[in-house]
């Protein structure tokens, strides 16, 4: 009975039209053009590399799309157990009408050709969105993105701020900030103005969130302007040679200033907590980052207290931090659970993390899922994976366990999948 119920709930959830609250889609080129764009997703290149394929072979420049795919195909059977590969088979089935139970030497060229023909259709982008039942999509935009040339209702800008917080000492970043904001930066007031200008630019272009990914050691502090002024002065002089104390002080100050701007503009501040960059520097592109799971949300307690009116949708990289996220969302009005991120975005971690959230966090404070995709085709299989897990928790815990009606369970599912995205991000 439980499996039939799950299936019934899944089908109802799968009817919903959604907003995807975090992606890396390029609004000027949102969909794929060849199968190589799909197989180029770092999940496949890094798993293929982990399974033994040399990075140089995977990433050799000046190799055409067909050859890029050919080089990966032989290794796909080594990763056919992974959730990630199952996304690809779902894409083949739902987007290309090709039902296969594995992708190998025998069938990849057919798929490559079919995919190429489909993707060449003029309305491919709309087709994909319609099939995926995704109506609107959050982007990830550099602070100096002009945000032009696309429909900002469909593709909602989001101000990504890693560079400002962690790389301000690089002259390239400072230059980008100065030229995009048209503020010449020689003191803290200039920096404040430049940051404020960027927020205004984003707000004018319909931005609905500010976002950042943070390393495990990061513990936001409210640095005084006096101290920051000194560190900024050092940083403007020494650039990347700035001592780490000053770099850290500026990181903390800029981060706090971002929160100030979020408060000013009633903008949610997405925190993606826990990633160490370049742990494996010889890994493939975007396949070099890992983490130290020893991180705690208590590092953010001062921040949550200081900005009670700023919603903080929080993603945690490791499932071990999920219980803290549940507890902090249950206590702090401005802390919100946000999706299942990266290394925690596989079925068994989603299952346990989601169950813990649904049984203890106010229902309006759980943003179910975002795809984190780079190409539109991935929303469908990734959301599908999540909806399977959501249907399972709704069936087991709420309908069978607590005696809820299916209708009531679906209403909770809809709130988590769709309504909360709209209410939290005011979109």
The residues with which 160 forms a beta bridge, in sequence order, are 211
Compute the distance between CA of residue 7 and CA of residue 387 in angstroms, rounded to an integer: 10
- Per-residue mark of binding to its own copies, 262-291 (x: CB under 8 A): --------------x--xxxxx---xx-xx
Compute the distance between CA of residue 366 and CA of residue 312 in angstroms, rounded to an integer: 11
Conformation bin of residue 206: beta by default, left when phi > 0, alpha when psi is -120 to 50: left
Residues 372-401 that bind its own copies (CB under 8 A): 388, 397-398, 400-401
Please report whether residue 84 would count as binding its own copies according to CB under 8 A: yes
Compute the distance between CA of residue 65 and CA of residue 51 in angstroms, rounded to an integer: 21
Contact present, 212 and 165 (Cβ < 8 Å): yes
What DSSP assignment string belongs to 293-309?
A: ----GGGGHHHHHH-TT
Which run of H or E residues covers position 259?
Answer: helix 244-265
Burial class (CB in 10 A: 0-12, 13-18, 19+), 284: buried
CB of 390 to its own copies, least distance (A): 12
> Which residue, 187 or 279, is less far from its own copies as judged by CB?
279
Please report whether residue 312 would count as binding its own copies according to CB under 8 A: no
Compute the distance between CA of residue 138 and CA of residue 207 in angstroms, rounded to an integer: 9
- Per-residue mark of binding to its own copies, 86-105 (x: CB under 8 A): x--------------x----
Residues 6-65 that bind its own copies (CB under 8 A): 46-47, 49-52
CB of 243 to its own copies, least distance (A): 23
Residues 326-365 that bind its own copies (CB under 8 A): 326-333, 343-344, 346-349, 352, 355-356, 358-365
CB of 305 to its own copies, least distance (A): 7
Q: Which stretch binds its own copies (CB under 8 A): 138-146, 228-236, 260-268, 324-332?
A: 324-332
Contact present, 261 and 210 (Cβ < 8 Å): yes
CB of 99 to its own copies, least distance (A): 11
> Which residue, 82 or 193, is less far from its own copies as judged by CB?
82
- Per-residue mark of binding to its own copies, 208-237 (x: CB under 8 A): ------------------------------
């Amino acid at each position: 009975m439980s499996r039939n119920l799950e299936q019934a709930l899944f089908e109802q959830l799968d009817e919903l039209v959604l907003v995807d609250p975090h992606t890396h889609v390029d609004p000027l080129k949102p969909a794929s053009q060849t199968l190589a764009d799909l197989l180029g997703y770092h999940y496949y290149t890094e798993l293929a590399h982990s399974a033994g394929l040399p990075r140089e072979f995977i990433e050799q420049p000046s190799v055409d799309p067909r050859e890029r795919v050919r080089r990966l195909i032989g290794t796909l059977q080594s990763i056919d157990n992974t959730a990630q590969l199952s996304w690809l088979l779902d894409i083949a089935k739902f987007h290309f009408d090709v039902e296969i139970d594995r992708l190998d030497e025998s069938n990849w060229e057919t798929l490559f050709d079919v995919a190429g023909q489909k993707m060449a259709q003029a309305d491919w982008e709309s087709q994909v969105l319609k099939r995926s039942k995704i109506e609107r999509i959050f982007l990830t935009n550099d602070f100096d993105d002009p945000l032009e040339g696309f429909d900002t209702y469909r593709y909602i800008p989001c101000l990504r701020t890693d560079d400002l917080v962690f790389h301000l000492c690089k002259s390239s970043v400072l230059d980008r900030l100065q030229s995009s904001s048209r503020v010449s930066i020689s003191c803290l007031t200039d920096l404040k103005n430049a940051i404020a200008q960027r927020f205004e630019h984003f707000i004018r272009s319909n931005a609905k969130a500010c976002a950042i990914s943070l390393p495990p050691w990061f513990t936001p502090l409210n640095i005084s302007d006096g101290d920051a002024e000194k560190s900024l002065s050092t940083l403007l002089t020494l650039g990347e040679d700035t001592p780490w104390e000053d770099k850290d002080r500026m990181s903390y100050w800029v981060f706090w200033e971002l929160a100030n701007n979020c408060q000013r503009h009633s903008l949610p501040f997405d925190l993606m907590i826990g990633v160490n960059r370049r742990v494996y520097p010889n890994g493939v592109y975007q396949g070099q980052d890992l983490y130290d799971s020893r991180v705690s949300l208590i590092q953010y307690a001062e921040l949550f207290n200081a900005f009670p009116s700023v919603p903080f949708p929080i993603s945690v990289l490791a499932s071990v931090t999920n219980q803290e996220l549940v507890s902090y969302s249950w206590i702090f009005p401005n802390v919100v659970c946000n999706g299942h991120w990266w290394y925690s975005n596989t079925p068994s971690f989603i299952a346990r993390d989601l169950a813990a959230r649904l049984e203890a966090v106010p229902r309006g404070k759980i943003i179910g899922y975002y795809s984190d995709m780079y190409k539109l085709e991935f929303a469908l299989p990734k959301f599908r994976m999540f909806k399977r897990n959501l249907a399972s928790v709704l069936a087991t815990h709420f309908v069978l366990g607590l005696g809820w009606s299916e209708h009531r369970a679906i209403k909770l599912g809809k709130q988590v999948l769709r309504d909360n995205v709209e209410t939290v991000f005011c979109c």
